């Protein structure tokens, strides 16, 4: 009986490990094929432009709101913490660094993962289960080129744009709280912000955003493309796309931070 139980455990563990390697291998192959098709013609310009609008324009309100409130909260928190050691003057710098290096890219990434990653997985997943992707192939159109490549490239291009706008709005949020609630002098706050502004802070945030854009669109497309069954399969693909993209964003945020600021 005990042996049976042990075997069952080994069996289950083996299946989990095998499934993990199978999924990793499939994702690896999908990524390679996607990168290849992103770089080789034909290119579908219209599909790319549609995705730019979908990812960039329609995500702008949610990214603007999250970065605005993040900047405001950081200003308040920094002030309440730093005032005890009489370092209130550092509020502008802390807002600047936190927003540009971390908050704008990560918040924008997570918000876009929820909005765009889910939408992509649902759309492509529905196309898969209703044979629309097979139909594309029979119409001599490569689904990787028509469906996946425009989304991936649009994600890589648009996320940095969103983050750049998020940077400005986040810093404005800090400025608004600093001037209206914490009684900072407007000119001094702006001068402090400008003084501490380093190109590396902005660049690191934008590079992170590009990587996050790739991750979000890749996970959305991968999960949608491999969805099976009917409505349940599409629902599962959508959940997987958002969860996996969010986790990967946090992991890669750490890795990129380490690369940029400790090496």
**Cβ 105 to other proteins shortest distance, Å:** 30
**Cβ 73 to other proteins shortest distance, Å:** 39
Of 140, 199, 254, 263, which lies in the binding site for other proteins, with binding defined by CB under 8 A?
Answer: 140
- For residue 76, give the nearest of 163, 180, 169, 166 by alpha carbon: 180
Q: Considering beta carbons, is residue 50 or 257 the nearer one to other proteins?
A: 50
Say how many residues touch other proteins, by CB under 8 A: 14
Concatenating the DSSP letter of every residue in the chain gives -HHHHHHHHHHHHHHHHHHHHHHHHHHHHHHHHHHHHHHSS---HHHHHHHHIIIIITTHHHHHHHHHHHHHHHHHHHHHHHGGGT-GGGHHHHHHHIIIIIIHHHHHHHHHIIIIIHHHHHHHHHHHHTTHHHHHHHTT--HIIIIIHHHHHHHHHHHHHHHHHHHHHHHHHHHHHHHHTS---HHHHHHHHHHH--HHHHHHHHHHHHHHHHHHHHHHHHHHHT--SSHHHHHHHHHHHHHHHHHHHHHHHHHHHHHHHH-
Assess 45 for contact with other proteins (CB under 8 A).
no
**Cβ 139 to other proteins shortest distance, Å:** 4
Assess 141 for contact with other proteins (CB under 8 A).
yes
Assess 41 for contact with other proteins (CB under 8 A).
no
**Cβ 123 to other proteins shortest distance, Å:** 8
**Cβ 44 to other proteins shortest distance, Å:** 8
Question: How many Cβ atoms sit within 10 Å of the Cβ of residue 40?
Answer: 12
Q: Considering beta carbons, is residue 19 or 137 the nearer one to other proteins?
A: 137
Contact region with other proteins (CB under 8 A), list: 137-145, 187-195, 229-237, 243-251: 137-145
Contact flags string 145-184 toward other proteins, x per CB under 8 A: -x--------------------------------------
**Cβ 166 to other proteins shortest distance, Å:** 29
Contact flags string 94-133 toward other proteins, x per CB under 8 A: ---------------------------------x--xxx-
Looking up tokens 């770089």, which residue turns up?
Answer: 39
Q: Considering beta carbons, is residue 124 or 245 the nearer one to other proteins?
A: 124
Q: Considering beta carbons, is residue 11 or 80 the nearer one to other proteins?
A: 11
CA–CA separation, 250 vs 213, rounded Å? Answer: 13
CA–CA separation, 150 vs 46, rounded Å? Answer: 9
**Cβ 109 to other proteins shortest distance, Å:** 26
Which residues would be at the binding site for other proteins (CB under 8 A)?
Answer: 44, 127, 130-132, 134-141, 146
């Amino acid at each position: 009986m005990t042996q049976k139980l042990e075997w069952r455990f080994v069996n289950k563990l083996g299946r989990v490990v095998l499934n993990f390697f199978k999924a990793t291998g499939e994702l690896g192959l999908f990524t390679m094929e996607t990168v290849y098709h992103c770089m080789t013609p034909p290119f579908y310009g219209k599909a790319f432009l549609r995705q730019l609008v979908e990812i960039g324009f329609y995500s702008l309100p949610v990214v603007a709101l999250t970065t605005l409130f993040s900047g405001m909260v950081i200003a308040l928190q920094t002030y309440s913490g730093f005032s005890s050691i009489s370092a209130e003057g550092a509020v502008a710098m802390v807002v600047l660094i936190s927003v540009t290096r971390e908050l704008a890219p990560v918040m924008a990434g997570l918000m876009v993962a929820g909005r765009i990653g889910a939408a992509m997985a649902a759309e492509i997943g529905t196309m898969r289960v209703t044979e629309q992707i097979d139909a594309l192939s029979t119409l001599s159109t490569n689904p990787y080129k028509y469906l996946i490549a425009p989304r991936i490239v649009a994600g890589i291009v648009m996320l940095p744009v969103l983050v750049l706008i998020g940077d400005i709005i986040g810093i404005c949020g800090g400025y608004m709280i600093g001037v209206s609630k914490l009684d900072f002098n407007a000119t001094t706050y702006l001068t402090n912000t400008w003084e501490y502004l380093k190109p590396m802070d902005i660049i690191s945030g934008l590079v992170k955003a590009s990587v996050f854009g790739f991750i979000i669109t890749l996970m959305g497309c991968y999960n949608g493309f491999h969805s099976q069954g009917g409505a349940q399969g599409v629902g599962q693909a959508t959940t997987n796309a958002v969860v996996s993209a969010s986790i990967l964003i946090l992991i890669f945020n750490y890795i990129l931070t380490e690369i940029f600021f400790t090496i």
